[in-house]
């Protein structure tokens, strides 16, 4: 509802207002404005503060994107991991003037550590990761802009937001243990239009089941493990694609990767990894050996397939379901 959107705008403002300068900031919009993330983080937020907005109409043309960035004193760039990774791998990006730049704001999908660390090295700023979903208008949690380095967390709940982590039996898990993330707050939707059964399935007493598995540390920072439906079950062990993909991305010749589960007659499922490489000499065996040096045995991909690119949404989120199909 409009009330949900206004509430979320105020919630996020409460976190970022210490670093946003009214009428002075220059935000880059490379995400489609019909997507809830861009609608709030790019449009509504910076209209509220009277800031300039640079609309990148074709962010897939990375050389042109970088060329446009070179023309303006941009200060804030909301995006997704694939967008940041694409910029980092585009010639000329590391030569841009980042003297006015304050931060990149990551959402829509998990920000991978290798991307965040390279971003910090090149831009001199921290890549702030947040978390949200359309049903929450969309922001649920975000890292405070004062953090000194990327820590892999989605941050803390925005004001007036409650989060709990539940096991499969509906019991709250102990601190440090993984559970499904449930949200309650003024940004939570009223329901799906003309879909009462779907609404009843996801909303319970004002709490919304996100379908995401998360943990929380002693400081109150939350960490997304992965989507519940994307979990791979190998010989009874839970394997989460995000972990596999982040390890694969650590390899110098891997541009991006996506992990899915495929049927196996002995273990139930095994990990299959799709990789976009920047060097044709990279072999499946080399990727598997790299993963084996960083992962427990049952998490190591058994199959590696190279692709020119990975299927993505219009926002740039990798579509694992298309790879599974």
* Spatial separation of the C-alpha atoms in residues 130 and 166, rounded to whole Å: 21
Q: 86-133 pLDDT, tens per residue?
A: 999 999 999 999 999 999 999 989 999 999 999 999 999 999 999 999
- How far is the C-alpha of 36 from the C-alpha of 138, rounded, in Å? 6
DSSP helix/strand/coil, 305: strand
Closest C-alpha to 245, from 301, 165, 180, 197: 301
Contact, 145 vs 15, CB < 8 A?
Answer: yes
Q: Is the pLDDT of residue 325 over 90?
A: no
Percent of the chain with pLDDT over 70: 100
Mean of the per-residue pLDDT values for the chain?
97
Question: How large is the average pLDDT for residues 1-25?
Answer: 97
300 C-beta neighbours (distance < 10 Å), count: 22
**Number of Cβ within a 10 Å radius of residue 68:** 18
- Residue 203's H or E segment, with its range, is strand 203-204
Judged against a pLDDT cut of 90, whether residue 293 lies above it is answered with yes
**How many C-alpha atoms does 160 have within 13 Å on its Cβ side?**
15
pLDDT at 46 over 90: yes
Distance of CA 16 to the CA centre of its chain: 18
Enter the pTM of the model.
0.90
Flag whether pLDDT at 54 surpasses 90.
Answer: yes
Pairing of strands 103-106, 76-79: parallel
For 13, 21, 127, 144, 302, the CA distances from 18, given in Å and listed in that order, are 9, 8, 17, 10, 48
Residue 246's region, left for phi above 0, alpha for psi from -120 to 50, else beta, is alpha
Greatest CA separation for the chain? 61
Q: What angle do CA 277, 76, 136 make, to 5 degrees?
A: 85
Q: Shortest CA distance to 309 belongs to which of 286, 277, 283? A: 277
Q: Which residues of 253-290 are buried (b: 16+ CB within 10 A; e: fewer)?
A: ebbbbbbbbeeeeeeebbbbbbbebeeeebeeebbbeb
Residue 208: the pLDDT is 98
Taking a C-beta distance cutoff of 8 angstroms, is the pair 261, 270 a contact?
yes
At 152-179, the pLDDT tens digits run 999 999 999 999 999 999 999 999 999 9
Q: Which domains does the chain have, with CATH numbers?
A: 2-157 (3.40.50.12780), 162-217 (2.30.38.10), 231-324 (3.30.300.30)
Residue range 187-238, pLDDT digits in tens: 999 999 999 999 999 999 999 999 999 999 999 999 999 999 999 999 999 9
């Amino acid at each position: 509802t409009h009330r949900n959107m206004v509430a979320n705008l105020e919630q996020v403002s409460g976190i970022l207002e210490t670093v946003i300068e009214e009428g002075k900031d220059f935000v880059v919009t490379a995400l489609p404005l019909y997507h809830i993330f861009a609608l709030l983080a790019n449009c509504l937020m910076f209209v509220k503060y009277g800031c300039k907005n640079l609309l990148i109409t074709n962010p897939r043309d990375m050389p042109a994107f970088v060329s446009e960035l070179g023309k303006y004193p941009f200060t804030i760039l909301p995006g997704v991991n694939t967008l940041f990774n694409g910029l980092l791998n585009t010639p000329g990006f590391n030569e841009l003037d980042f003297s006015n730049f304050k931060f990149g704001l990551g959402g829509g999908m998990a920000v991978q550590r290798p991307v965040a660390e390279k971003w910090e090295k090149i831009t001199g700023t921290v890549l702030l990761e947040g978390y949200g979903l359309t049903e929450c208008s969309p922001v649920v949690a975000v890292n405070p802009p004062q953090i000194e380095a990327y820590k892999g967390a989605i941050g803390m709940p925005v004001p007036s937001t409650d989060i709990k982590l539940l096991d499969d039996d509906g019991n709250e898990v102990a601190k440090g243990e993984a559970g499904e993330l449930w949200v309650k707050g003024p940004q939570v939707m009223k329901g799906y239009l003309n879909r009462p059964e779907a609404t009843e399935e996801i909303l319970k007493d004002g709490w919304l089941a996100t379908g995401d598995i998360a943990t929380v540390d002693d400081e109150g920072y939350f960490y997304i493990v992965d989507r519940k439906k994307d979990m791979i079950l190998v010989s009874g062990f839970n394997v989460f694609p995000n972990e596999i993909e982040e390890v694969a991305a650590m390899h110098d010749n891997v541009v991006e990767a996506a992990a899915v589960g495929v049927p196996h007659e002995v273990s139930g499922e095994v990990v299959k990894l799709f990789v976009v490489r920047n060097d044709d000499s990279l072999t499946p065996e080399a990727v598997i050996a790299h993963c084996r040096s960083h992962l427990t045995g049952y998490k190591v991909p058994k199959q590696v397939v190279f692709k020119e690119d990975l299927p993505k949404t219009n926002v740039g989120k990798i579509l694992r379901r298309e790879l599974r199909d």
